[in-house]
């Protein structure tokens, strides 16, 4: 089960608002706010719904393992290479400065 801090961090990582999380999880926005500020602990079903919504968007929650709890993003799947890509990669071209 995630903590309020993990909820807040997960929401930041997947870049959604509290309102969007409320809509996706079907948990009232005020309950999510109170949970994130550790003012109120929602029931287990609400926390599970919040966690699932964030996981569906790419958050991965890390349990206490001696290094502390946390949250990170799923590793992106490697992009398929297209035949139209130029060989040699896409670095800066000679004469162009990075701004």
- Nearest residue to 2 (alpha-carbon basis) of 39, 75, 52, 40: 52
pLDDT, tens digit (0-9, with 9 covering 90-100), for 30-54 = 999 999 999 999 999 999 999 999 9
Q: How far apart are alpha carbons 87 and 56 in whole angstroms?
A: 35
The rounded average pLDDT for each run of 10 residues, N- to C-terminus, in the chain (99 residues) is: 94 97 98 96 97 96 82 76 46 44
Domains and their CATH numbers in the chain: 4-73 (1.10.260.40)
* Angle ∠(5,45,4) on CA atoms, nearest 5: 5
Cβ–Cβ < 8 Å for 18, 33: yes
Residue 87, pLDDT score: 44
State residue 40's pLDDT score.
Answer: 92
Could you tell me if 3 and 36 are in contact, meaning their C-beta atoms sit under 8 angstroms apart?
Answer: no
pLDDT at 78: 66
User: Could you tell me which of 59, 37, 57, 35 has the C-alpha nearest to residue 46?
Assistant: 35
pLDDT the model gives residue 81: 52
pLDDT for 80: 53
Per the document, the length of the chain is 99
pTM recorded for the entire structure: 0.73
């Amino acid at each position: 089960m995630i903590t309020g801090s993990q909820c807040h961090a997960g929401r930041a990582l997947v870049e959604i608002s509290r309102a969007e999380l409320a809509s996706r999880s079907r948990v009232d926005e005020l309950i999510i706010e109170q949970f994130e500020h550790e003012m109120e602990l929602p029931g287990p079903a609400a926390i599970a719904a919040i966690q699932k919504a964030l996981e569906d968007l790419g958050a991965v929650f890390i349990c206490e393992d001696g290094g502390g709890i946390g949250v990170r993003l799923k590793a992106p799947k490697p992009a398929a290479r297209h035949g139209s890509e130029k060989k040699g990669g896409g670095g800066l071209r000679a004469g162009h400065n990075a701004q």
